[in-house]
Amino acid sequence: MQVITSKDNEVIKNIRKLKDKKYREIENKYIVEGIKLIEEAVEENAKIDTIVVCEDCVENNLIEQKLMYEIAKYNCIYVSEKVFGAVTEVTNPQGILAVVEKDNKEDAIDYDQDVIVVLDGIQDPGNLGTILRTADSVGLKQIIISKETADAYNPKVVRSTMGAIFRVKVIIAEDLVKTLKEIKKHKFKVVATSLKTEDSIYDVEYDKKVIVIGNEANGVSNEILDMADIKAKIPMLGKTESLNASVATSVILYEYVRQKINRR
């Protein structure tokens, strides 16, 4: 087993560059890290370019043999603990990561789903990752994000998705208003979250609806609020006036699930 021990190795330098959004876009690749995410990538037939394994994990049998057999089918490189420390962004890494090619089928919107989630300027990577995970949990296959939203392939986002990044297509809208107008042509109505309404999310029938979740600080932009067919809020019984963006998305999507189960 040949082990790379230099951080100046060209392959290692190229992987390290993928920490930067600019290089992720140029190379059309991103990093996934950790045993569970690698297992998910293999199971979902993600386009794995390279798998990096820390030699200590091999020597100490920290990775199950079943996964070791699976990753042996790919382009695997083994590195020293020092080198792995240079490519990881995790405080306590599990000693395995992969470089994965992005899904290039990012532009076509699927109009056959009951609801479409749209994110208008979500900034926190943890929020974005959790929203992707929630969308996956309710069976959604796509999510639309504005160009101002955090990068969906940021390592923190990828980790937060817990594998959903391989199942939920991320569509980046260069002009979100224009994209929403196009979606409305397919008989969808736009539901925007807003605190400036008395209408409840529980009064909305989630069939052919676009759910717009706004920026953590400023909410949904005025231009999108103006074109929304429905403005709704989550009723609050306590003194808290608003919820975290990912929590709010979960509440709304599980109201959609409740309605769907009742229709059955």
Contact 212, 228 (CB under 8 A): yes
Q: What is residue 71's three-state secondary structure?
A: helix
Contact 95, 53 (CB under 8 A): yes
220-261, pLDDT tens digit by residue? Answer: 999 999 999 999 999 988 988 778 999 999 999 999 999 999
158-184, pLDDT tens digit by residue? Answer: 999 999 999 999 999 999 999 999 999
Beta bridge partners of 100: 30, 48
| Alpha-helical segments (H) within 101-154 | 125-137
120-154, pLDDT tens digit by residue? Answer: 999 999 999 999 999 999 999 999 999 999 999 99
Beta bridge partners of 30: 100
In this prediction, residue 1 carries a pLDDT of 62
What are the structure tokens assigned to 201, written together? 């999310």
- Closest by CA position to 208, among listed 118, 72, 115: 115
- At position 260, the amino acid (one-letter code) is K
User: For residue 129, what is the DSSP state?
Assistant: H
What are the structure tokens assigned to 180, written together? 């929403």
Confidence of residue 62 (pLDDT cuts 50, 70, 90): confident
User: For residue 215, what is the DSSP state?
Assistant: B
In this prediction, residue 57 carries a pLDDT of 74
C-alpha span between 191 and 232 (Å, rounded): 7
Instruction: Say yes or no to pLDDT of 60 above 80.
Output: no
Confidence of residue 26 (pLDDT cuts 50, 70, 90): very high
Domains of the chain plus CATH, in order, are 3-101 (3.30.1330.30), 115-263 (3.40.1280.10)
Q: Could you tell me the pTM of the whole model?
A: 0.91
What are the structure tokens assigned to 152, written together? 């969906």
Phi-psi region of 178 (alpha: psi -120 to 50; beta: other; left: phi over 0): alpha
